[in-house]
Each structure stands twice: as structure tokens, then as C-alpha cells.
Amino acid sequence: MSEKRDYYEVLGVERGAEPDALKRSYRKLALKYHPDRNQEPDAEARFKEVSEAYQVLSDPQKRDAYDRFGHQGLGGAGYQAGFSNVDDIFSHFSDIFGDLFGMSGGGRQRARRGADIEYPLQIDFLDAVHGCSHEVSVPKHKLCDTCSGTGAAPGSQPTACGTCGGQGEVIQAQGFFRIRTTCPTCRGEGRVIQEPCPACRGRRAVPVSEKLKITLPAGVDDDMQLRLGGKGEPSLGGGPPGDLYVTVRVKPHEDFERRGLDIYSQVPMSFPQACLGTTLSVDTVDGEHELEIPPGTPSGKVFRLYGKGVSAVRRRQRGDHYVQAVVAVPKTLSDDEESLVRQLAELQDEKVHEKGFFRDLVNRLKH
């Protein structure tokens, strides 16, 4: 590679290539020829050539000079015209690949926000249907009042970390590859505590229990979450606090089953009521409702009560209530009842057990 190649040829792009196209090509080639990834004899030279080409073509003034006068337009300094030394190459390289490898452009990391908290809240079935409010005590932390969240004992101050020089990051180098990582000594904070605060023991925060009023809208369902911004854990680095996520846990109901916005239940009716028809009082989430049972209703018949279900959260929509009428068969019969049932069986020419068999069977089942 004694003769310098055209920079556009090196990057494999056209002369009118846009900056984004230059960057994409540079990323691809830099990874391909990086000495830590490519052990071919000319990999290092190729990597330097690609880095030099991109450094020139990514700079509008240098690119204009190169387009007009070629390599001579850069002063004829060859590789040094692009980079002053190897560190300069990797300073540029780390900027390009920061999003891929988690590297930053230098300096301390931005303060992280506090952690989020999940709080399970168990409520009754009807409270979920109609909405409710609950006062809860959420276990969390707050910044220590004694040290004002510094973690250092009163009268003392944290000192700059000697490992990273207060930057919160260290540079790890492998051959030509340099990566910024979080400092293992200070864990990215850039400082260390020599005299811990006696109240928080240097942790900068203390456990507390915060009382909050949680208001849930009508229609909430099991596993739904309510987000309360800024009610999570505090940030230990000066960032914003986290959020509180209240996870709803709905207790099952003895009579109602919920499926989406619809409610399902059963109502018992006697054989005469099924045959002759009647009016039954049915429990709904809004109270009792009169349900007309027409004559000849079979057991298992489902009736739909429009608009008697659950309201949708944040929408003007409400489900329905489906009531299944089920014939309730008595477990025991009086003599008169048994006589009437047998008369009906005779009229309908139905075969039944002899008199006394049913009662004996019931007695046996009881014992």
C-alpha cells in the first residue's frame, strides 16, 4: 500500500455519497479490518486507511479540498493529515461506535433516574367494576436527611475517585481497540466516601413508608397497572425519581364471572317455572334486575341483559350481563310432591323407578 488510494474507493462509495452513507460504510469496514477481529497481515494497515479516509471525507472543509485537489489538497502529509496519532484514530472511532458498544464521548455519565417500584393492590370484584380509592403504604427509600443524600458524614465530603479521576468511567484498551466502561471502584459516580454517614451508613438513602391515596377508575381488571410518575425510588445521582406502578389484583366473586367487559352468572329456576314461565329476580353488578322467563324455557338457556356489564376504562362503552337459567332439581321430595311428579310421568308415559326407590336411593346417598 505504498501508493495512496482514492478515499472514496477506500470506503467503497460514490463521490457524491451523503454523510450517512459514508458513516455506514466506515462502520462496516472498520469492524471488518479491526486488528482485534481480523488477524490478516494487512488488517491494521487497512484499518488505518479506512479511518483516515473517513476522517477526511466526514469533514466538509477537508472533503472539499480533497475533491478539488486530491491528496495534495491536504498538504501532502499522508496519514498524518487525517490523524495526529493512534489515540486520535480511536477517539474518532469511539464517537462513531458509541451507540454500538455503549461508549460515551468522555466525561462523567449522566445521572440515572431512580428505580421504578411495583406495588400489588388487591381489591374486591365490585370495586374493580365501579372504581374505588384506597390508602396504601408503599415501602421505598428517601434521601438521607442527615447527609442530604451525599452519603458522607456531616462535616466531610466525598472525594474524587482515584481510579477514574472523578470521571465515572475508565478506558480499557486491547490492542488498537479502546472502550469506555463504568469505573469499578466508584460504580460510575466519580467519587468515593471516606467517612460514611452514620444514619444511612453511606448508602445515601434510608427506608421509609409513604402513604398514598390510590384512585382506580371503573372497569379496571386483573393485572392492569396504574402509573404514578415520580413516586418511585429517588435517584442517588441527582437525576429524577422513578415511577410507581400499582398492579391491580382482583378477588374472584362468588356469583359473577368477568370476561372482558361482560359478566356471566346463573339463576336457578324450578321445573314448574321452566314449564309455565315466571319472573325471577337476578343479581347484577348494579343490583337486582327482574328477568322474564317465558314458558317452556329449557335448562341452560342464556338471557342477555344489555348494558349491565362492566364499563370500559377511558371509553364510553359498557359490556352486557349474560344470565344462564338452570333448572334446580330437588334432592328430596315430600310424599305429595312425589305423587304429583309420578302423575306427570304417567301422563307423559315416562318410565320412572318404582315408588320408594327414589327415597331409598337418597337415604343411601346420605349415609
- Over 70: is that where the pLDDT of 365 sits? no
Tens of pLDDT, residue by residue over 72-93, are 767 543 344 444 444 444 444 4
Q: In this predicted model, which residue has the larger pLDDT, 367 or 343?
A: 343
Q: Which residues pair with 323 in a beta bridge?
A: 265, 303
Q: What is this structure's pTM? A: 0.59
Closest CA to 222 of 201, 248, 184: 248
Catalogue all structural domains in the chain, each as residue range(s) with its CATH number. 7-101 (1.10.287.110), 111-154+201-252 (2.60.260.20), 159-192 (no CATH), 257-327 (2.60.260.20), 335-366 (no CATH)
- Over 60: is that where the pLDDT of 263 sits? yes
pLDDT for 241 equals: 93
Tens of pLDDT, residue by residue over 25-50, are 888 888 888 776 777 888 888 888 88
Q: What is the distance between the alpha carbons of residues 242 and 248, in angstroms, rounded to a whole number?
A: 19
- Residues 47, 3 contacting (CB under 8 angstroms): no
Mean pLDDT of 309-334: 91
- Over 60: is that where the pLDDT of 98 sits? no
Mean pLDDT of the chain: 83
Q: What is the distance between the alpha carbons of residues 306 and 182, in angstroms, rounded to a whole number?
A: 60
Q: In this predicted model, which residue has the larger pLDDT, 255 or 104?
A: 255
- 322 falls in which pLDDT band (50, 70, 90)? very high
pLDDT for 43 equals: 80
Helix, strand, coil percent content, the chain, rounded in steps of 5 = 30, 25, 45
- 266 falls in which pLDDT band (50, 70, 90)? very high
pLDDT for 111 equals: 67
